[in-house]
Structure 1
Amino acid sequence: MELDFDPEALRAKYRAERERRIRPDGNRQYRRTVDEFGSHADDPHTEFTEREPLHDSVEVLVVGGGFGGLLAGARLRQTGVESIRVIEEAGDFGGTWYWNRYPGIHCDIESYIYLPLLEELGYVPKWRYAPGEEIRQHAMAIGRHFGLYRDACFQTRVRELRWHDTDLEWIVSTDRGDEMRAGHVVISSGTLSQPKLPGIPGIETFRGHTFHTSRWDYDYTGGDANGGLTGLADKRVALIGTGATAIQVVPHLGADAAHVYVFQRTPSSVDVRGNRPTDPGWAESLRPGWQRRRRENFLKIVTGVRADEDLVDDAWTSTARLQEKLIPTNAYAGVPAEERELAYEIADFQKMNELRARVEAMVEDPETAERLKPWYRYMCKRPTFSDTYLQTFNRPDVTLVDTADSHGVERITENAVVVGGVEYEVDCVIFATGFEVGVSGVLSGRLPVYGRGGADLLRTWMSGGPRTLHGFYCQGFPNLFHLGPLQNASAVNYVHILDEQATHVAEVVAEARKRQIRCVEPTAEAQDAWVATIRRKAADLHRFQAECTPGYYNNEGRPRERSESYGDGPVAFHELLRRWRSEGGMREVLAEGEA
């Protein structure tokens, strides 16, 4: 194959750029906001409301009011469950879309497949990539449509789940003094729920204003999610972080602040966004089942499964071949390993060369352009999309500060951010430093769970690794369901995954109700067989991730040795679940003796 670049030179460049950014402290470079900077985790959107503690019972209790929890409630309601309570720390439904309301916020997956239950609610999004407020309003609409507000508890955090061996139900304790009972519990505490701050020396000494992008302070900045940040007209602003959030925030800060300093450790790859309003004629032409068809078509294409047409046809589907390094799939299994890897790497180099050329074409200053070029493989970091981010660095009042050689910001003083010994005096520091990704309340230890005989779930999983059936349930912890990426399959359109999971949980609960069985719990044999399947099919992504620039995809440069995802991919996994439900698999979790 004739190439217009030198692959070995690119490999060397990637290695050198990675070494500039590796930190010995890994994830320890971050601090949990709730542990050390509680004000950054406060809710700026809803005033706290006192209430009396609850001591009642519900049939199903759902932990988390984001799309996972909403889908669990909706799918359970569709099977006939009336007694459902959702417990949510925020002041309303929406999950990450409740908390994140920063300027420019949009989804980066097409809204026609990202927003769930569109047909059930008779709604078509107004934009191809919907703004955050439209998404949040849709979440609330789901809550209303399925009657989930009726028994919801907002501004409430579950402190403990404890199984009652005699009564065969869960005792749910919260930070509001509640002690509720629930026949079943569904945990959907999210993978983007806990914001993190950088552990920069002197961060607590800064005398200006600070906030995390997930708690945007419009009282200080003025404006709203559409921009108009008039409160920053005379302010020098530091933005720390250049991931997916910063890509959307920077153009608004650049337009409205007196001066913006963007502190970057690693540049994001920035592709074309091409957002547009929904065509009314197209919306009118949609026929029943359109969302499922479109959503499943997207999932097949981005995981390499053959499809006759590309219904979405965007930057995600055009880079499908590259996404196997993030989402395992069996679609390329027929290609010899060496040939497969070489073809993948060449396609990756070509795409990244294209994105680096886009930077050169859009950024006028050569030095700034060079610093904005992403020197790593495509799926080392979450791809981003914007038609305004790169151009913002052509403004004289926007300065890019590269922190790679100092391994991040060195320190913060009373009035400045320091990098390379240079003090950048600012009035405000905004942290676009992301979240603890993929760590549920159970895995973080924030939500203790005690099953049969008081067994500690986290301790059980820590000794030998997680043990589940299909990622949903664990022996010794009856009627407890987990939504999330553990020991099942994932995808870039994660809300689709959550919907499949919620549908599965609802079907299992419905069958238990039909048979009048009180305990849903996997047999030891079924659980062991599934763990063995996960181990056997696990994709070996360690080498790829170990060579990536550090970030949350590879645990800050220290990738985990073993994948806990189903190696054949989400399309195969969803089909496996459907067969399991229809071909008698439920006998593995429904013990007749517990009726």
Structure 2
Amino acid sequence: MPIGLAEKYAQERDKRIRPDGQSQYITLHTREFQALEKDLWVDYRDLGSREPPLKDRDEVKFLIIGGGHNGLLFAYRLIEAGFKSEDICIVDIAGGFGGTWYWNRYPGLMCDIEGYIYLPLLEETGYIPRHKYSYGPEIRGQSERIAAKWNIRGLFCTKVDSQVWNDDKGRWSLEMTRSLGPGQDAVHMSVKAQFVFPAGGVLSIPKIPYSPGFEQFRSRNHVFHTSRWDYEYTGGSETNPVMVNLRNKRVAIIGTGATAIQAVPELAKWAKHLYVVQRTPSYCGERVQRETNPETWLKVADQPGWQNKRRINFNHFVTNDPVPVDLVNDGWTHTPGVAGLIGGPGIVTPERVKDHIDSLFAIDVKRAEKVRERIEREVKDTDVAEKLKPWYPGWCKRPTFNDSYLTSFNQPNVTLIDTDGKGLEGYTERGILCRGEEIEIDLLILSTGFISGGTQNPSDRLGSPIIGRDERPIANKWESGDFGNLFGMATHQYPNMFATLLTGTAGSYNMTSLYDVVARLSAHIIAEASRQAADPDNLVIEASKTAEDQYVEEVKKRSLWYSALRTCTPSYFTAEGDSLKPPKTAEEANLKSRKAGWGTGIVDYQRMVEEYIGRGENKLEGFDLRIV
């Protein structure tokens, strides 16, 4: 990389590094901000009129915590493996299926990953996405179709408060609270499950930056997070975002990540004035949306197994391991530098770290220059264009794709408030403070994302303790020198628990592909173990300590792939820089490498999993089986 560019990247990174890291944010789970987390979509009357799938003191074989793609794929793969749908129950705090696609309903919402590979189980449901990039309601609809087709039951508006393993009985005991709206008493439930599947997803806990004066401003003005879009205030709906109520409103949106990139063009159509508050600009490439026609679909769904094949093809390109034919052929597959975050072919040894980082920079710079040139072409004001240019490697912050975002800044009612990497200074009764200037507004929209699940232990991701064998909290194991897992989906001392732990698994920008690999492996292990067991109803499956230690040694061998993240500007990819802080001790360095992802990438991870599954019956190496 040119020396001048390297210096520019370093300068821009350094001005954004903050000692408080991720603690600069608070979550909407915080008591004083729970009103901002309110479920705006739930139909309490309808839910209350239905017979719940679980009641107090019930027992279920499989309990899955989370109703998004992760949880639904766990359920489907269990059913495919021969288990009954009536033995499965999904529990979710939301009012329905969908996970992040239940909560996110902001205007302009679509998935930036091709719908043909992102929507789960398209072959199995026979559903044909209407566009190459699916819009939010359609993605949520696919979750609902999956649940309906396979009779997957959901207990909604229910929070799991704790889950505790009883080793004598071979069961998980779960305490849960179900809340069916204002004026209704919360119902506390105790249930037992033979198997549990924490499936809280990667981005599920909304976060907001807390600055001085926020409470004062909020008491006099309207505020909401993009994952709780308030159409009652703005007007319109998710399917018809005609936000007429904003015609006389001054609106500020904080954030310029993947969400804001989509919402800003829609807000710009209606707001009297729109202020876009930017700390770090995003790379914004072309989207090029198109409808699915019969000719296109015949090429996509060209043979049995097409979706898995297409997913693997995509993962080859985003891990910088290209194959001769690019089936997806879009901005993602043309950006091989994003492999810096998620892994790629080849083990990086200590003496190769510099060459590894240099090679990633070399393939990334070409794409980065194209995007910066696009900004110059599309944004008329040269000063605004300069402020919208990103200066960091493409693997440091999720790249975005939109055909209208940049040109929104050509409209007279849209103003970019660039904070030069500092973020907001604070609030007043009437507005926001940026670089010493008060900007009066009527509505504040927080497009500030979510706490990254990749940096959390499973308890934090669910907001409830998980207590394993020997009464050990899983949060304790996550911070201990004996941390380990097997395949990134099972961990010793936590029997009959399977999850996408994120540590130990491979990353992909198409998370559905990872969720499905983990779900198939989990279902295989449980099904094979059940076939071997004399009494499957009292079966206990646990990753052995020897196996998980051997596995994390393989993880450690691959961990230096992620050394490229040292070059990054803070983002949720690096826990706002917290994960980049150098270890203080050898023990801390060892733990960090044990908790890394599968550095040789998701294609290699899937190959390893499929080889394990392919060994067939009586081949469950690494797992101890017993009957209680």
Task: Give how far 1:485 is off.
Answer: 1.4
Partner of 2:181: none
Task: Give how far 1:338 is off.
Answer: 5.3
1:303/1:331 contact within 8 Å kept: no
1:484/1:498 contact within 8 Å kept: no
1:546/1:554 contact within 8 Å kept: no
Q: Which moved more, 1:389-398 or 1:445-454?
A: 445-454
Write the deviation string for residues 144-186 of structure 1: whole angstroms up to 9, x where unpaired. Answer: 111113xx21010111111122211111111231111111111
Amino acid at match of 1:220: Y
Structure 1 runs not aligned, ≥5 long:
1-5
Partner of 1:19: 14
Partner of 1:3: none
Tell me, in whole angstroms, the C-alpha distance in 1 between the residues paired with 2:436 and 2:205: 32
| Alpha-carbon spacing, 1:301–1:332, altered in 2? closer, same or farther (3 Å) | farther
Task: Give how far 1:306 is off.
Answer: 4.6
Write the deviation string for residues 434-473 of structure 1: whole angstroms up to 9, x where unpaired. Answer: 0001236514572211122322221122222631111111
Residue 565 of structure 2 corresponds to residue 545 of structure 1: yes
Say which of 30, 35, 40 aligns to 1:44: 40
Q: Which moved more, 1:295-304 or 1:281-290?
A: 281-290
Partner of 1:558: 578
Tell me, in whole angstroms, the C-alpha distance in 2 between the residues paired with 1:266 and 1:93: 33
1:115/1:135 contact within 8 Å kept: yes
Partner of 2:319: 303
Say which of 478, 488, 497 aligns to 1:461: 478
Amino acid at match of 2:112: D
Partner of 1:8: 3
Secondary structure at the residue paired with 2:620?
A: helix
What is the 5 A alignment of 1:44-123? 44-48=40-44, 53-82=55-84, 83-123=87-127
Residue 201 of structure 2 corresponds to residue 190 of structure 1: yes
Tell me, in whole angstroms, the C-alpha distance in 2 between the residues paired with 1:163 and 1:19: 45
Say which of 429, 432, 436 aligns to 1:417: 432
What is the 5 A alignment of 1:362-373? 362-373=378-389
Tell me, in whole angstroms, the C-alpha distance in 2 between the residues paired with 1:340 and 1:181: 49
Give TM-score scaled by structure 1 length: 0.94
Q: Which moved more, 1:526-535 or 1:302-311?
A: 302-311
2:318/2:338 contact within 8 Å kept: yes
Say which of 233, 236, 242 aligns to 1:223: 236
1:30/1:198 contact within 8 Å kept: yes
Tell me, in whole angstroms, the C-alpha distance in 2 between the residues paired with 1:507 and 1:323: 31
Amino acid at match of 1:318: H
Secondary structure at the residue paired with 1:541?
A: helix
1:305/1:331 contact within 8 Å kept: no
Tell me, in whole angstroms, the C-alpha distance in 2 between the residues paired with 1:302 and 1:19: 27
Partner of 2:24: 29
Structure 2 runs not aligned, ≥5 long:
179-187, 583-591
Q: Which moved more, 1:45-54 or 1:429-438?
A: 45-54
Task: Give how far 1:589 is off.
Answer: 1.1
Amino acid at match of 2:75: G
Say which of 524, 527, 542 aligns to 1:510: 527
Secondary structure at the residue paired with 1:260?
A: strand
Tell me, in whole angstroms, the C-alpha distance in 1 between the residues paired with 2:621 and 2:570: 44
Partner of 2:556: 535
Tell me, in whole angstroms, the C-alpha distance in 2 between the residues paired with 1:547 and 1:197: 25
Task: Give how far 1:332 is off.
Answer: 8.1
What is the 5 A alignment of 1:406-485? 407-438=422-453, 439=456, 441-444=458-461, 446-464=463-481, 466-485=483-502
Secondary structure at the residue paired with 1:317?
A: coil
Write the deviation string for residues 373-400 of structure 1: whole angstroms up to 9, x where unpaired. Answer: 1111111110000100000000111010
Partner of 2:257: 243
Tell me, in whole angstroms, the C-alpha distance in 2 between the residues paired with 1:257 and 1:98: 26
What is the RMSD computed on CA atoms of the aligned residues? Answer: 2.0
Residue 545 of structure 2 corresponds to residue 524 of structure 1: yes
Partner of 1:574: 606
Partner of 1:131: 135
Amino acid at match of 1:93: F
Amino acid at match of 1:40: L
2:200/2:461 contact within 8 Å kept: no
Partner of 1:166: 168
1:304/1:332 contact within 8 Å kept: no
Amino acid at match of 2:113: I
Write the deviation string for residues 529-576 of structure 1: whole angstroms up to 9, x where unpaired. Answer: 11221112213434x323322111122123346351112211111121
Secondary structure at the residue paired with 1:107?
A: coil
Task: Give how far 1:67 is off.
Answer: 0.3
1:545/1:557 contact within 8 Å kept: no
Task: Give how far 1:258 is off.
Answer: 0.4
Secondary structure at the residue paired with 1:492?
A: coil
Q: Which moved more, 1:576-585 or 1:211-220?
A: 576-585
Write the deviation string for residues 303-325 of structure 1: whole angstroms up to 9, x where unpaired. Answer: 233523111111111112x1221
Say which of 476, 481, 486 aligns to 2:503: 486
Give TM-score scaled by structure 2 length: 0.89
Secondary structure at the residue paired with 1:60?
A: strand
Task: Give how far 1:23 is off.
Answer: 2.0
| Total equivalences in the alignment | 584
Secondary structure at the residue paired with 2:560?
A: coil
Task: Give how far 1:349 is off.
Answer: 2.0
| Alpha-carbon spacing, 1:188–1:127, altered in 2? closer, same or farther (3 Å) | same
Tell me, in whole angstroms, the C-alpha distance in 1 between the residues paired with 2:20 and 2:122: 44
Tell me, in whole angstroms, the C-alpha distance in 2 between the residues paired with 1:461 and 1:383: 30
Residue 603 of structure 2 corresponds to residue 588 of structure 1: no
Write the deviation string for residues 346-378 of structure 1: whole angstroms up to 9, x where unpaired. Answer: 332222111111111011111111110111111
Amino acid at match of 2:338: Q
Tell me, in whole angstroms, the C-alpha distance in 1 between the residues paired with 2:493 and 2:458: 19
| Alpha-carbon spacing, 1:453–1:484, altered in 2? closer, same or farther (3 Å) | closer
2:197/2:499 contact within 8 Å kept: yes
Amino acid at match of 1:239: I
Secondary structure at the residue paired with 1:162?
A: strand
2:458/2:501 contact within 8 Å kept: no
Task: Give how far 1:582 is off.
Answer: 3.2
